[in-house]
Structure 1
Amino acid sequence: MTYAPVTYALLAFGLGALLLAVNAHRPRRRHMTTLVPSFFAGWLTIELAPHLLVAEVAGLGILVAYGGLEGWPGWTGLIAGLAAAAGTAATIIAARRTVVTLRDSGVPLDLDPDDAPRYPRSHVILPPLCFIPRRGVKVERNLVYRKDGRLRLKLDVYRPAGNGQLRPGLMQIHGGGWVIGDKREQGLPLLNHMAVQGWVGFNVNYRLSPRATWPDHLVDLKHFIAWYRENAESYGADPDFLCVTGGSAGGHLTAMVALSANVPEFQPGFENVDTSVRGAVPFYGVYDFVEPGPWPVPMGATPLVERMLVKRSFTDEPDAFAKASPVNYLRPDAPPFFVIHGSHDSLIPVAEARRFVEKLRDVSESPVIYAEMKGGQHAFDVFPSYRTARVVEGVERYLTGLHRQYLEGAGRPSVPDEVSESVG
């Protein structure tokens, strides 16, 4: 029996929506042919779930109103669509329950959650607003921090519009698999929020592979720290207080920046510059290229890292990949860490973060906080979702606590008896 086209449209719509919902809760990780499409579909489904739910309900309503319920295809599409909407609603509920708990962290976080600065809910409803500087934030774009021949590396500064005492600095490192990405695309919800709370944020570009070869990326970021030491006061920032954050490849680089302070190999020509930072907040990063752990093969043996980033044979020169692994720079005097990862990350398994945190806690004398966002995909913080809002608020409270301790001259934070694991 032949049915009207709208009936088959309802069937396709319902099944497509159900597929998105299933993928969001059970992303595909085993094969590269499905991994990347699964990631993008899950990422958009999870972090834009409220908007997707509206589209699903509206789409089902329109197709039903135009006669789509004719015969079994229509009813099958409606049932599938309703199941998908229920799954999307569950995703929204999980995201809205995200809580970032920082008690017992060894950092003076005495802010009452009800009184703590709130991320604007208007940005959650209208995500594009996060790309617009918030009221009271001044943005200076495309400042050159490194010149070398024809090389020009640039950054954007996010800072409070008014003048005042020197403020804490925050370095943001974008992700993109070390081969793509730009300062205009990532970290904007956090940088805007931190600037409103009195921080000066620096969104930094660096050379990308395959043109750049490791450790060019890290050397560039060390150059930024050298630039910061000399120029911070011109932008209202304290040259002696800088924290670092970033996601994905930026999370890897965040950990490397924090753990490899003052390593001469990564500071050619400026070995005497202090490149230490006061705290690190890596999001969903890679921390070990050599040990496979949660990976089918070591991350260093993948074509991306072996051929485009390090450009050496993993089999013949494993030491080169070990030198690019943050886990090999753990030390007792490491700065405080706040490691963040999503439980549903289909690009970098959450076990990668768990094993890094465990090893860092065994060595570091500073607090190591771990936040695992239940239901969170890779790059969940690019959009100002409910989950992003909670995480941004938690990161602000954490970094504000570190800065308060710095101002009080308390020195290195004490090791907590029990470090809370934050879950959402």
Structure 2
Amino acid sequence: MPYVMLALGILFALVALNAHAPRRSALLLAPSFFCGWLTIEMAPHAVVTWAAATALTAGFGGLDGWPGWVGFALAILGIAGVAATIVASRRTVVTLRDSGAPLDLDPEDAPRYPLAHLIVPQLCLIPRKGVRVERNVVFHEDGRLRLKLDVFQPAAERPDGELRPGLMQIHGGAWVIGDKREQGLPLLNHMALQGWAGFNVNYRLSPRATFPDHLIDLKRFLAWYREHAEEYGADPDFLCVTGGSAGGHLTALVALTANVPEFQPGFEDVDTTVQGAVPFYGVYNLFEPGPWPRPMGATRLMERMVIKKPFAENQEAYAKASPITYIGKDAPPFFVIHGDRDSLIPVAEAHRFVERLREVSEAPVIYAEMKGAQHAFDVFPSYRTARVIEGVERYLTGLHRQYRQGTPPAVPGEVSDSVDGASARPRATAAE
């Protein structure tokens, strides 16, 4: 048993180290991400499990020899390292406040994420009480192609037939995997309870699809939404968009390419503007290196599966697929969210996108950098996820309130105090 304790200690210490300093080499990138992602966002579960395993091993003779004591010390260090990630996640509210997110909007009515979901994350797969989900609604059909979405709505009837604000959710998965059943569920459930109509949208995936097929499919949803929103109690003139990873990239593209004819073949006259965008840990620039030694567009994934053109001879194609290309003064309000320990898309990618947005856009741009968070942190309903979801809901509620008042989107101080019209520029984070 002493050598079992030693093995456990080494394992726990390495996993904890990876959570704080994920590996970025080609060989270790994927396993390092998955291990760190699960450890960080399920840290309370890991601490309890590891502590129980350590105690159980010690009780069966794991300390009968020097290897056991070395392993025990390493196990304690590993448990402490994971516990440190819990401490970092507890600063999420501070991070959101410093970013300018209007957390104090209607504080007496501010919703809280259910504790049960933090204890049993799998509960997020089940619609929450008070939420009605209509699945597999076809929003575009062309021959054998049938694009579908799921609709999340409050179960209660609308007061006086009032139309609800709409939220479009775009799943991630490196443009090649993923499904509406897997991502955005904690957010959509929470938003539905606050009176929103959420639309979790599928799109064609690579390698069968070639960019811009993915974006065109999402634009087709916008056209469908304009025509059918009221059937689901939603306001056809108010829609915000969100998504993570590849979904964050597509979220930014949807928001920044409103009414670009190239991405609306056959429905060029449809208004495809959105009223706000909340991209999570997205890729925003495919043609310049920046956070990477070489541009994201020069990777095998992009050249062979997504855009399917050699990067060196087709940089214009990669620029066309980059949200940063389309930033203009008429961009909608943005709330950009990224984790500072993201090993798949370095946080510097968010920095340069936000910097460019703030230089050009006349709309408010909020940026929240989640301390200690990995890529895809919001898939699990962790403490951090719960607080971020509440912050996003407050932010989008502020935008919708301004829309109903007939006032243009304003800076964050005005979102949180839109009734009296207080004004303040977004506060910079330390990461900027």
User: TM-score normalised by the shorter chain: which range applies?
Assistant: over 0.9
What is the correspondence of 1:319-358 to structure 2 with a 5 Å cutoff? 319-358=316-355
SS across alignment from 1:287? coil
Identify the residue that residue 365 of structure 2 maps to in structure 1.
Answer: 368
Identify the residue that residue 426 of structure 2 maps to in structure 1.
Answer: 419
Identify the residue that residue 315 of structure 1 maps to in structure 2.
Answer: 312
Partner letter of residue 185 of structure 1?
Answer: E
SS across alignment from 2:136? strand
Return the alpha-carbon distance in structure 1 between the equivalents of residues 99 and 184 of structure 2. 27
Identify the residue that residue 10 of structure 2 maps to in structure 1.
Answer: 15
Q: Structure 1 residues 138, 198: CA separation in 2 closer, same or farther (over 3 Å shift)? A: same
Return the alpha-carbon distance in structure 2 between the equivalents of residues 76 and 44 of structure 1. 26
Identify the residue that residue 420 of structure 2 maps to in structure 1.
Answer: none
The RMSD of aligned alpha carbons is 1.6
What is the correspondence of 1:268-287 to structure 2 with a 5 Å cutoff? 268-287=265-284
Identify the residue that residue 83 of structure 2 maps to in structure 1.
Answer: 89
Identify the residue that residue 79 of structure 1 maps to in structure 2.
Answer: 73
Q: 1:126 aligns with which of 120, 131, 143?
A: 120
Return the alpha-carbon distance in structure 2 between the equivalents of residues 323 and 47 of structure 1. 34
SS across alignment from 1:101? helix
Q: Is the 8 A contact 1:372 1:423 kept in 2?
A: no
1:411 CA drift (Å): 2.3
Identify the residue that residue 136 of structure 1 maps to in structure 2.
Answer: 130
SS across alignment from 2:157? coil
Identify the residue that residue 26 of structure 1 maps to in structure 2.
Answer: 21
1:14 CA drift (Å): 1.0
Q: Is the 8 A contact 2:103 2:391 kept in 1?
A: no
Return the alpha-carbon distance in structure 1 between the equivalents of residues 46 and 410 of structure 2. 43
Identify the residue that residue 415 of structure 2 maps to in structure 1.
Answer: none
Identify the residue that residue 230 of structure 2 maps to in structure 1.
Answer: 233
Q: Structure 1 residues 39, 109: CA separation in 2 closer, same or farther (over 3 Å shift)? A: closer
1:98 CA drift (Å): 1.1
1:122 CA drift (Å): 1.3
Q: Structure 1 residues 116, 312: CA separation in 2 closer, same or farther (over 3 Å shift)? A: same
Identify the residue that residue 3 of structure 1 maps to in structure 2.
Answer: none
SS across alignment from 1:89? helix
**Percent identical:** 69
1:8 CA drift (Å): 1.2
Q: Is the 8 A contact 1:96 1:387 kept in 2?
A: yes
Return the alpha-carbon distance in structure 2 between the equivalents of residues 385 and 195 of structure 1. 19
Q: Is the 8 A contact 1:102 1:398 kept in 2?
A: no
1:111 aligns with 2:108: no
Identify the residue that residue 297 of structure 2 maps to in structure 1.
Answer: 300
1:9 CA drift (Å): 1.1
Q: Is the 8 A contact 2:338 2:347 kept in 1?
A: yes
Structure 1 stretches of at least 4 aligned residues deviating more than 4 Å after TM superposition: 102-105, 107-110, 112-115, 414-417, 421-424
In structure 2, runs of 5+ residues without a counterpart are 413-422
Q: Structure 1 residues 104, 92: CA separation in 2 closer, same or farther (over 3 Å shift)? A: closer
Identify the residue that residue 152 of structure 2 maps to in structure 1.
Answer: 158
Return the alpha-carbon distance in structure 1 between the equivalents of residues 128 and 182 of structure 2. 16
Partner letter of residue 367 of structure 1?
Answer: P
TM-score (norm 1): 0.96
1:112 CA drift (Å): 5.1
Return the alpha-carbon distance in structure 1 between the equivalents of residues 369 and 99 of structure 2. 17
Return the alpha-carbon distance in structure 2 between the equivalents of residues 375 and 422 of structure 1. 15
Return the alpha-carbon distance in structure 2 between the equivalents of residues 109 and 82 of structure 1. 37
Q: Is the 8 A contact 1:141 1:157 kept in 2?
A: yes
Identify the residue that residue 290 of structure 1 maps to in structure 2.
Answer: 287
Q: Is the 8 A contact 1:104 1:417 kept in 2?
A: no
Return the alpha-carbon distance in structure 2 between the equivalents of residues 287 and 220 of structure 1. 19
Identify the residue that residue 405 of structure 2 maps to in structure 1.
Answer: 408
Aligned pair count?
417
TM-score (norm 2): 0.94
1:55 aligns with 2:49: yes
Return the alpha-carbon distance in structure 2 between the equivalents of residues 226 and 287 of structure 1. 24
Q: Structure 1 residues 123, 423: CA separation in 2 closer, same or farther (over 3 Å shift)? A: farther
Return the alpha-carbon distance in structure 2 between the equivalents of residues 247 and 286 of structure 1. 9
Identify the residue that residue 254 of structure 2 maps to in structure 1.
Answer: 257
1:412 CA drift (Å): 3.6
Identify the residue that residue 64 of structure 2 maps to in structure 1.
Answer: 70
1:376 CA drift (Å): 0.3
Identify the residue that residue 247 of structure 1 maps to in structure 2.
Answer: 244
1:119 CA drift (Å): 1.0
SS across alignment from 1:66? helix
Return the alpha-carbon distance in structure 1 between the equivalents of residues 97 and 72 of structure 2. 44
SS across alignment from 1:231? helix
SS across alignment from 1:315? coil
Q: Structure 1 residues 414, 60: CA separation in 2 closer, same or farther (over 3 Å shift)? A: closer
In structure 1, runs of 5+ residues without a counterpart are 1-5
1:209 CA drift (Å): 0.2
Q: Is the 8 A contact 1:145 1:224 kept in 2?
A: yes
Return the alpha-carbon distance in structure 2 between the equivalents of residues 345 and 422 of structure 1. 17
Return the alpha-carbon distance in structure 2 between the equivalents of residues 26 and 54 of structure 1. 22
1:311 CA drift (Å): 0.4
